[in-house]
Amino acid sequence: MMYTGVFALLVYIAVILVWALVIKRNMAEGMLLGLIAVSLFSGSQILNFLIDGLVSALFNEVLYASLAFIIMSFLMIESGLIQKILAIFNALLGKIKGGPAFLNITISALFGMLSGSNSANTATSGTFTSQWMIETGWKPEIVSTLVAGNGGLGAGFPPSASMFIMLGFAKVSGLVDEGELYLGLFVSGLYQVIYRIFLVSYLMRKQDIKVILPHSQLSTFQIIKKNWTALLIFLGAIIPILLTIGPLSQFLSNYGMAEALESISLLTWIPTLMIALCLILGWQQLKDKVLNINYCAEHLFPQFKTIGGVLLFAFAASEVLANLGLEKGLTQIFTMLNLPKALMVLLIAILVVLVAGPLSSTATLTSIGLIAFTGLTSAGVPPLLAVVSILVFASTEGASPPASGSIFIASSLAQVEPEKTFYPLIIYFVIPILIIGWLIAMGILPLFV
């Protein structure tokens, strides 16, 4: 049947939504049930489809990269490298009017390139800046709004679990180069940062914001001198990118290293090198923790449970849906709709944003990432622009009422009622970010890749 894959996708989405929103159980469990549900559409071939899907997922390097970044984030926190990086940015921005708000943007962008988690971004940056912002004159509800909205940079910058999920779809990975996607998402993240800087500047003029100097006896130079080695962690991302993209890559390729450079996978080497650098830079603080199996079992291993299950079963379901003919069915449906490109992009943007309201960005893209990609490409959007714009749409998850974890984290840190942030979050973050994604998909905002 031509539309078997489409019907299977609808059932898959329904199972995940019911499990997450009605039954309120673990998302990984919902993904497993969704995998079983779509496999049932294969009839007597269910066992073969299940096995093929799981084997494909287990050999997907995206799964490794996602789990590796969890280890890296754990090592950065436990080694104290994060605190050193924060101290540097505090020293650089703390004396500027509105400094805490700009620092919150900086931290969220920085951690977006490290952790890829909206909620983690909100918790980390908010813990460091929320009360500082209130002390300098920001209203608590605005503080909560900015902290939750800026947390969306966790999914707005590469690498992120959302990016990995999109690359895990066979149709996407066959059309989009991982290096170009990494740079494209980085550029789109910069667009989001620029918008947030203008937003903070605008809100600052509406309030009587004062400068309160950071509580430190050390000069900016002394703080940087004391903590600069923590910045070496970024070499883990810079080195693989320089070797695979740009002038250095071209120069080395001209000297007979093209084949070797092409074998370098950013998804594999960026987290691997960052883990190695974390261990080197923070070994004195880490050795008693990483060598203690009980400590790891209590603090590290539980973090694998949800994200590992979500990605494993999501990729397996993607393979099953592909084998059921999802791509052909969706292509025919979008061809029949025959909507203008601008309208098609807008409708898909709204669909992704609405689903991102109650779900996380990863769950959103697991559910409708492939259908959004197929819709955009069928409307004439180039594959790279399609993936980047979808990731931008999904990054509104941190600012989307009513069920975003970032909203409740930020509200608790600023000690305000979450409901007071719903309207400003939609006005200041959800709608503008949707527009940024639309402009990227339409080719108006260039990605330079």
- CA gap 409, 307 in Å, rounded: 20
In the chain, % of residues over pLDDT 70: 86
Residue-number span of the structural domain to which 162 is assigned: 4-441
pLDDT surpassing 90 at residue 209: no
pLDDT tens string 306-317: 667 777 887 788
Per the CB < 8 A criterion, the answer to whether 402 and 361 are in contact is: no
User: Which pair of structure tokens corresponds to residue 384?
Assistant: 């790279």
Specify if 121 maps to a domain: yes
0.95 exceeded by pTM: no
- Helix, strand, coil content of the chain in percent (nearest 5): 80, 0, 20
What pLDDT is stored for residue 444 in this prediction?
94
Average pLDDT over residues 207-223: 70
Residue 55 CB contacts under 8 Å (≥ 6 apart), including other chains: none
- CA gap 53, 39 in Å, rounded: 9
Specify if 230 maps to a domain: yes
Specify if 447 maps to a domain: no
Specify if 65 maps to a domain: yes
Specify if 446 maps to a domain: no
How many angstroms from the chain centroid is the CA of residue 268? 17
Q: Which of 143-152, 262-271, 384-393 is predicted most confidently?
A: 384-393
pLDDT tens string 38-82: 899 888 888 888 888 888 878 877 677 767 767 877 787 788 887
Tokens 């993209």 correspond to 245
Q: Among 90-94, 198-202, 319-323, 413-417, where is mean pLDDT lowest?
A: 90-94
Specify if 253 maps to a domain: yes
| pLDDT band at 262; cut points 50, 70, 90 | confident
pLDDT tens string 381-408: 999 999 999 999 988 877 777 656 677 7
Average pLDDT over residues 109-134: 70
Structural domain total, the chain: 1
pLDDT tens string 2-27: 578 778 878 887 887 788 778 877 77
> Which stretch of DSSP H or E encloses residue 7?
helix 4-17
pLDDT tens string 335-381: 777 788 899 899 889 888 877 765 666 667 776 788 889 889 888 89
- CA gap 414, 101 in Å, rounded: 13
Per the CB < 8 A criterion, the answer to whether 242 and 248 are in contact is: yes
Q: Is 177 left (phi over 0), alpha (psi -120 to 50) or beta?
A: beta
Q: 449 or 222: which carries more pLDDT confidence?
A: 222
What pLDDT is stored for residue 280 in this prediction?
92
Phi, psi (degrees; rounded to nearest 5) at 338: 50, 45
